[in-house]
Amino acid sequence: MKAFLYIRVSTDEQADKGYSQRSQQEILMRYCAINGITVINSFFEDHSAKTFNRPEFNNLLLQLHKHRNMADLVLFTKWDRFSRNAGDAYQMISRLNKLEVSPQAIEQPLNLEIPENKMMLAFYLAAPEVENDRRALNVFNGMRRAKKEGRYMGQAPLGYKNKTSEDGRKFIAPDENAPLVKWIFEQLATGKYTAESVWNIAKEKGLKCEKNTYWNAIRNEGYCGIIKIPAYKTEEEQFVEATHEPIISKELFFRVQDVLNGKKKVQRTKILVDERFPLRGFLICPKCGKLLTASSSKGRKIYYHYYHCISSCGTRYKAEAANDALIQELIKWKPHSAMQPLYKIILQNLYKESATTRNIEKSKIKKDLEEISLRQKKALNLLMIDAMETDDYKIIKRECEMKTIQLEGKYNEISAAQIDIQPLVDKALKLLENIDTYYASCNAQRKREIIDSIFPEKLQFDGEAYRTTRINEAVRVMFNIGEGLGEIKMGQIHDLSELSHNVIWLGLEPRTHTLKVYCSTN
């Protein structure tokens, strides 16, 4: 008789000497020598036996199909080397029989022509399948139990790395990408940019991940210290506090989810980062009122860059001239340096007022948390006296838990906002003093942020300078205060008490000059 030897181990069995390929080969070769069986070929497999989709076994079948009667037997040590799935095993045995080849386990020999032996075959095949199922169930239950304890299971998400403690327990900890992940959430929370635009900018900042990984990351509760436990059988979906260090706050995470889910109405724009055209999207055409776009045209030797209108009005300005003119415009709105002490006092007073507002908001959150806790207790009491169904109680409990997590995250965010603003004020004022120099040295994205913060409306450029436009109210007030420190010009009255208290009312539109009404400032 002639035989093919099939020798299989799975990856987790490599360390077990009883399952090693060399050990199996020696046993099979000895069996063939004793029984006078000629070994045609040996096939060494390193794949799981859950299915027959294995490279070497497919090669064995190919040899049998190409060369009929080449072998009479396919030998292996035990039936679990052949398969760990009873249904697949019966189909494969039938297929081999059609090729006039008999599979046989030398340590568990069965004559399959005897009907009763098929019961023993079912036992040999079912036993490893049951073992696989039990092992998988134990792993599943262990992972679910670990999640309930607040441990993050599996491969660490973007911004974290897998680590092992001294006692052998595995956990995740922030890595060098954590600040970048936090930046991503902060940008998404503003609602100004699309998620894809933030991803593109993050890649330029050094983020290395696929798009699918990025989308999974911005939906992952683990970043704010929450572990999600999916629903299973009679257990409802749960959320527990994680044991690992969060990268972002709960309030920030849920704010981002509101933006992504469309619950928060925002105007999203794509980030345009072109160092040659920082004003693109901020300029309007003085002729037709449409937005100016930007492009480059090639001359004989070099490229020329322009801001131009998309309509047929023909408005076009050199990009370099418009960019330089904006720097001159910023110089006009630099605050007076002598007013810095007054600015600091005003800002500190405003911060104190905002602190009062935060305390009021914190008190409201505490009250809401007490009401949620009371609601959950009432629902539990109704459940205890059989006045409420279990399913209804679970729904209320889940709603209360989610609302509690969101409110606690918001409370912690407000508490963390109480900082010493003095260094920030000093830095901001220093920046405003040198706003033109700072603007000129920035990249295009930062320039756009500066323009957006100072000029709330679109700008008009006439080819040489910018037309007077409305600016940020805070900048306007600071500029006007500083203007009062200028020298007294000829003809100006410094003492306001010398001015007349009577003001002539000019009347309605159109002016009614025939009516004169004198109003006293007193």
User: pTM for this structure?
Assistant: 0.47
pLDDT at 60 over 80: yes
Other beta carbons less than 10 A from residue 512's beta carbon: 11
CATH, range 160-260: 3.90.1750.20
Q: What is the DSSP string of 280-343?
A: TTTBB-TTT-PBEEEEEEE-SSSEEEEEEESSTT--EEEHHHHHHHHHHHHHHTPPPGGGHHHH
C-alpha span between 187 and 208 (Å, rounded): 18
**CB-based contacts of 348, cutoff 8 Å, min separation 6:** 421, 422, 425
Beta partners for 54? none
pLDDT of residue 359: 83
pLDDT of residue 507: 44
pLDDT of residue 19: 59
Q: 377-402, pLDDT tens digit by residue?
A: 998 888 888 888 887 888 888 788 87
Q: 256-284, pLDDT tens digit by residue?
A: 988 888 766 555 554 556 788 888 888 88
Task: Answer left, alpha or beta for residue 494, where phi above 0 means left and psi between -120 and 50 means alpha.
Answer: alpha
C-alpha span between 232 and 236 (Å, rounded): 7
pLDDT of residue 269: 52
pLDDT of residue 219: 92
**CB-based contacts of 372, cutoff 8 Å, min separation 6:** 400, 403, 404, 407
Q: 401-417, pLDDT tens digit by residue?
A: 878 887 887 787 777 66
C-alpha span between 490 and 482 (Å, rounded): 19
pLDDT of residue 14: 55
For the record, the structure tokens of 488 come out as: 């007294």
Contact 374, 366 (CB under 8 A): no
Average pLDDT across the chain, whole number: 81
Contact 273, 202 (CB under 8 A): no
Q: What is the DSSP string of 434-446?
A: THHHHHHHS-HHH
Report residue 36's pLDDT band, with 50, 70 and 90 as the boundaries: very high
Report residue 303's pLDDT band, with 50, 70 and 90 as the boundaries: confident
pLDDT at 418 over 70: no
Q: Which of 21-30, 222-231, 389-398 has the lowest mean pLDDT?
A: 389-398
Q: 177-193, pLDDT tens digit by residue?
A: 999 999 999 999 888 77
pLDDT at 520 over 50: no
Report residue 73's pLDDT band, with 50, 70 and 90 as the boundaries: very high
Average pLDDT value for residue range 17-26:
76
Report residue 35's pLDDT band, with 50, 70 and 90 as the boundaries: very high
Q: 92-144, pLDDT tens digit by residue?
A: 988 998 999 999 999 888 888 888 787 888 888 777 777 778 888 888 888 88
Q: CATH homologous superfamily for 2-134? A: Resolvase, N-terminal catalytic domain (3.40.50.1390)
Average pLDDT value for residue range 33-40:
93
pLDDT at 429 over 70: yes
Q: What is the DSSP string of 389-420?
A: -HHHHHHHHHHHHHHHHHHHHHHHHHHHT---
Average pLDDT value for residue range 340-346:
75
pLDDT of residue 34: 93
Q: Cα separations (Å) of 271 from 190, 211, 322, 438?
A: 13, 17, 20, 21
pLDDT of residue 245: 93
The torsion of the CA quartet 437, 440, 445, 450, rounded to 10 degrees, works out to: 40
pLDDT of residue 160: 94
